[in-house]
Structure 1
Amino acid sequence: MPMIQVQMYAGRSPDQKRALVKALTEAFVTTAGGTPQAVQVVLQEVEKSDWATGGVLASETPPKG
């Protein structure tokens, strides 16, 4: 069984998560084959204070835009 693991910042709504796992499942089946029932998706939410890029915590990085 294929498993897709996603690590992302915490805070997405259940509707956003539902849409994400549906899209990932459909993309896997379309590109790699198999059935949607065989695809497992694990979402792991991480707080910004527990994620760093370039030696800087994401919680201490100014927002972009």
Structure 2
Amino acid sequence: MDLYKNKFVSGSKDCTAKMWDLDTGRCIKTFKHKDPVLAAKINDVHIVSSCERGKVKVWHTNTFTLVK
């Protein structure tokens, strides 16, 4: 889990990382992995999530596209 300004990112056993808006409490976007997500970090430009298999994904926070 990680927090940046009013955005929060979480990882889960359901193989997803989710970006949340703390002002509304709503999920903004769900990012998918093939295995349970063990870690997630956020900053003003990127979300980084890693899964049980060791795969790390980098997502753009504004376009929600997979960068790497």
TM-score interval (norm. to shorter): under 0.3
Structure number with greater CO (CA < 8 Å, separation at least 6) is 1
Query: TM-score w.r.t. structure 1 length?
Result: 0.24
The structure carrying a bigger helix percent of its residues is 1
* Higher Cα Rg, which structure: 1
TM-score normalised per structure 2: 0.24
Structure with the higher fraction of residues in strand conformation: 2
